[in-house]
Amino acid sequence: MRFEVTILGSNSATPLYGRNHTAQILNCNETISLIDCGEGTQLQMQRYGLKVNRIKYIFISHLHGDHYLGLVGLISSMHLNGRKEDLYLFGPAGLQEIIDLQLHYAETTLRYNLIFKATNPNHAAYILADTNFDVQSFPLSHRINCTGFVFKQKQRLPKINRALVESLDIPTTYYPLLKQGIDYTDNKGKLHRAIDLTTPAPPPKSYAFCSDTVNTPSYWPYITSVDLLYHEATFLHEMIDRAIETFHTTALQAGEIAKKVGAKQLLIGHFSARYKDLQPLLLESKTVFENTLLAIEGQTFEI
Amino acid sequence: MRFEVTILGSNSATPLYGRNHTAQILNCNETISLIDCGEGTQLQMQRYGLKVNRIKYIFISHLHGDHYLGLVGLISSMHLNGRKEDLYLFGPAGLQEIIDLQLHYAETTLRYNLIFKATNPNHAAYILADTNFDVQSFPLSHRINCTGFVFKQKQRLPKINRALVESLDIPTTYYPLLKQGIDYTDNKGKLHRAIDLTTPAPPPKSYAFCSDTVNTPSYWPYITSVDLLYHEATFLHEMIDRAIETFHTTALQAGEIAKKVGAKQLLIGHFSARYKDLQPLLLESKTVFENTLLAIEGQTFEI
């Protein structure tokens, strides 16, 4: 089952060096989510051959412009492209008001349903149960209300061992029961254990998105043992005072967090415009957490 | 005196084929104005080496997203870049409310003065008298309130004929009076006419911007005899019904308008996403107005 994230933007505050503002596409078994939506996200999607109307869910972490200013343009383009399917939007409560005001002045009524669900900035909450994955939001600690998101695949059922069940003449109608772990007794009274006739599905994988936050243990319980942790790393650690002052994280801290929560892999982003070369940020994180990667635009990371 | 416009975007509705939404930079004697500000305008400025903090005036024609969604990102970047100088913004009344709401949720107080002046959607009005140029807004006829803008250079004073006035020993303190047309009488009582001692400045030039409008004579008086007319030409004339329905203009009509108002040159833009190749639009306009140009991104047009 495909579970991968594509980076559309990775720069903080002001876009520079061709680096755009935060936006990511998460593909979970061909169900497409957009996580944050900086200015120019729809242009970035075109650039990387991604169709905007395939997006089913949008998750916005907070209302700093570099994380959502592409949203009204994106939902307007979906409208102009003739979208009919419902679109689900999760984000801070004020987002609804911002969208409504802009659509009001444009005298535009969307041709599809935009279903908005406000995130809770104070408590973690399960906000979505899709067929393929669940999503939990949790509070981060930023200058304004900000939430992270964890995307966890659903535990899939075991796979039938076809050759074996066919050799035993087990009726196909019984296959779903075997997958559920229900044993089969044949007409001679012989018991065939479901566990012997199936192969367990791989354990479900998880992706955590921590957009903007100061380093604090309060949100670590929600990102424990994730397979891939995206964490902001706005500054090098020599800028720790500035990081604290602006409620951001250093690359060293991002590496330490990944290590502490037992993440399998770390993806750092939200780079300050002061860094033209990102290698020092990568190297700094790697000093504590070797399995660090840079969130480079256009790259896709398997989770 | 430099008087030129640089195109940052020229596509309508949805951006496509690498064509961005409407935005133009007008340089009048090194005073920089931004006209409309589609999504991604700040990125386009970076791309073409234009500094956002050099912008002194911003003019927004109307509140359809493809004409202003880059604005909040742009003014935020100016804030983050440490801008101190006043910024003057002219646009529909609702724009103030949209900006205030977004800055409110971002908990951002701009470090510079953003001086907003609402345009009048019903009547033409002189809205700016800069040292170098005047600006008049006038109503266009679009689905929502929309104004065009005419930028007219100030008439400059005549130039002193240096060699001549020096040979006549006319005191330099008298030069400003000569420029004003005041004649000089020397100490022998001889009259020297100002007109003979100066060369007239070239006539002031004008640029008109007509962003989105259906073809109607109501606004033609405001764009009469302009040196360069930017006019939208969303469709080919075979789409005239669609143009009327959506309050837009065809390339043929744009050419006809330029001819009727006696424009010296026509720049067409706001191309529909249905046209990958823009040559048919250019050729159609040229059938009635030969001096037509395409508003191509990154190109600068001298007025």
A119 and A23, same structural domain? yes
Residue A14 pLDDT = 79
Question: Which pLDDT value is given to residue B173?
Answer: 92
pLDDT for the residue numbered A92: 98
Please tell me which of the candidates A73, A104, A143 has its beta carbon nearest to residue B65: A73
B135, exposed or middle or buried, with CB in 10 Å at 0-12, 13-18, 19+? buried
Respond yes or no: is residue A277 known to be catalytic: no
Asked if B209 and B64 sit in the same domain, the reply is yes
Q: How far is CA A218 from the centre of its chain?
A: 20
Domain count, chain B: 2
Chain A residues within 8 angstroms (CB to CB) of chain B? 13-16, 20-21, 39-40, 42-43, 46, 63-66, 69-70, 72-73, 76-77, 80-81, 92, 94, 97-98, 101-102, 104-107, 143-144
Same domain for A296 and A183: no
Element (DSSP H or E) covering residue A199: strand A198-199
- Residue A42's closest chain B neighbor by CA? B15
A167, A184, A199 — which closes off a domain? Answer: A199
Residues A268 and A138 grouped into a single domain: yes
Task: Write down the ipTM of this complex.
Answer: 0.89
CB contact under 8 A, B65 and A81: no
Taking CA atoms, B145 is separated from A98, B119, B212, B242, in Å, by: 20, 10, 10, 19
**Each residue's pLDDT tens digit, B220-246:** 999 999 999 999 999 999 999 999 999
Please tell me whether residues B143 and B102 are part of one structural domain.
Answer: yes
Q: Do B187 and B223 sit in the same domain of this protein? A: no
Secondary element (H or E) of residue A6: strand A3-9
Q: What is the DSSP string of chain B?
A: --EEEEEEE-B-SS-BTTB-BSEEEEEETTEEEEEEE-TTHHHHHHHTT--GGGEEEEE----SGGGTTTHHHHHHHHHHTT--S-EEEEE-THHHHHHHHHHHHTT---SS-EEEEEPPSSS-EEEEE-SSEEEEEEE---SS--EEEEEEEPPPPPEE-HHHHHHTT--GGGHHHHHTT--EE-TTS-EE-HHHHEEPPPPPPEEEEE-S----GGGGGGGTT-SEEEEE--B-GGGHHHHHHTT--BHHHHHHHHHHHT-SEEEEE-B-TT-S--HHHHHHHHTT-SSEEE--TT-EEE-
Instruction: For A71-99, write each residue's pLDDT tens digit.
Output: 999 999 999 999 999 999 999 999 999 99
Nearest neighbour of A106 by CB, restricted to B42, B64, B76: B64
pLDDT band at residue A17 using 50, 70 and 90 as cut-offs: confident
* Angstrom distance (rounded) from CA B67 to CA B90: 13
pLDDT by residue for chain B (303 residues), tens only, comes to 899 999 999 998 777 888 999 999 999 999 999 999 999 999 999 999 999 999 999 999 999 999 999 999 999 999 999 999 999 999 999 999 999 999 999 999 999 999 999 999 999 999 999 999 999 999 999 999 999 999 999 998 999 999 999 999 999 999 999 999 999 999 899 999 999 999 999 999 999 999 999 999 999 999 999 999 999 999 999 999 999 999 999 999 999 999 999 999 999 999 999 999 999 999 999 999 999 999 999 999 999
pLDDT digits (tens, 9 = 90+) for A224-270: 999 999 999 999 999 999 999 999 999 999 999 999 999 999 999 99
Task: List chain B residues with CB under 8 Å of A43.
Answer: 15, 20, 39-40
**Quick one: which of A251, A246, A261 has its CA closest to A231?**
A251
Which of A70, A92, A94 is nearest residue B39 as measured by Cβ atoms? A70
- pLDDT tens digits along A110-143: 999 999 999 999 999 999 999 999 999 999 999 9
A130 and A9 within one domain: yes
Q: Would you state the pLDDT for residue B130?
A: 96
Same domain, A133 and A167: no
Q: Which CATH number characterizes residue A257's domain?
A: 3.60.15.10
Is A72 in Cβ contact with B102 (below 8 Å)? no
User: What integer pLDDT is reported at residue A85 of this predicted model?
Assistant: 97
Contact A63 B106 (CB under 8 A): yes
State the pLDDT at residue A264.
98
pLDDT of residue B18: 81
Whether residue B171 sits in one domain with residue B53: no
Give the N- to C-terminal CA distance of chain B in Å, as an integer: 11
Q: Are residue A264 and residue A277 in the same domain, yes or no? A: yes
Q: Would the CB atoms of A46 and B15 count as touching at under 8 Å? A: yes
pLDDT digits (tens, 9 = 90+) for A177-236: 999 999 999 989 999 999 999 999 999 999 999 999 999 999 999 999 999 999 999 999
Q: Are residues A30 and A170 in the same domain?
A: no
- Is the Cβ pair B80, A144 closer than 8 Å? no
Task: Read off the pLDDT of each residue in A144-170 and give the average, rounded to a whole number.
Answer: 94
Do residue B96 and residue B195 come from a single domain?
no
Q: Which residue range forms the structural domain that includes residue B194?
A: 159-199
Output the pLDDT for position A16.
Answer: 83
